[in-house]
Amino acid sequence: MTTQTALPAMQESLLDVAGRKIFVAETGDGPPVLLLHGGGPGASGVSNYGRNIAELAKEYRVIVPDLPGYGRSTKGVDGADPFGHLAEGIRGLMDQLGLDKAHLVGNSYGGACALRLALDTPDRVDRMVLMGPGGIGTTRALPTPGLTSLLNYYSGDGPSRLKLEKFIRNHLVFNAAEVPDSVIDERYRASIDPEVVAAPPLRRPSGPNALRTLWKMDFTRDKRLTRLPVPTLVLWGAADKVNRPEGGRMLAERMPNCDLYLVANTGHWVQWERAELFNRLCADFLAGRR
């Protein structure tokens, strides 16, 4: 089991981005790297990358935002185009930080955010690492049990610690015994923020334009993918129960500069479950050493 790494001192800011607040923490010196977290209940930037920040900060300026709708950032995500909404927020954050270009690292929902940002404005992205990103082949198969569990968290009888624990232990990771109760407790407390409950940032598209939204949220339907020049490393847990590992092959077959690494005995949380491997591969790839 990988142990939790002590976090370095981080500078925290709450920046105004087009009238909305985005919380960001940063540390380290070097080329800028934005770490974009996943979309599960109670997720936030620093908590999702707690096993990676210190190691990557040895070589990079590590910038860790709470995505729009999460953590200490303004709540609410545009349900008609959620990936575009997240990408616009992060691009605005880059503007506020004076970054013309940066590396992007994204897990799940954050991976979808990174990919959409790169497709819309490839000149803003240097290199990209995606871990089990959302939006890959989602119109080509039914949702996985893990994704269904995630999307049902705020529906029915509403959020509960038991619901969250079942999602994390049964669907998020390969080895449930590795997840301490404290992680679940922290995520649960964040997930029941009244503002989040009122406007869950990740939910099924609905309404008359739901099919159009679903189509837009499947990157394999986006013709720009085959022309995307950004060097990309895709890391996918072979036992991912949230986003199907076959998505990695879909990206590798479509993207002209995409390396794929399938991680054995690993679920949806590669950067947490296999932190040492992830930190090494990520640092080397972003530096152009592999």
Helix (H) or strand (E) holding 248: helix 246-254
| Identified catalytic residue from 85, 103, 171, 268 | 268
Q: For residue 103, indicate whether it is catalytic.
A: no
* 48 touches 71 (CB < 8 A): no
Q: Looking at this protein, which amino acid is placed at residue 207?
A: G
Sign of the Cα pseudo-torsion (52, 173, 42, 206, in order): positive
Q: Which two tokens stand for residue 123?
A: 């000149």
* 258 touches 251 (CB < 8 A): yes
Contact residues for 79 (Cβ-Cβ < 8 A; gap 6+): 203, 205, 206, 207, 213
Distance CA 33, CA 79 (A): 27
HSE value, Cβ hemisphere, 13 Å, CA-based, for 203? 20
Catalytic residues: 268
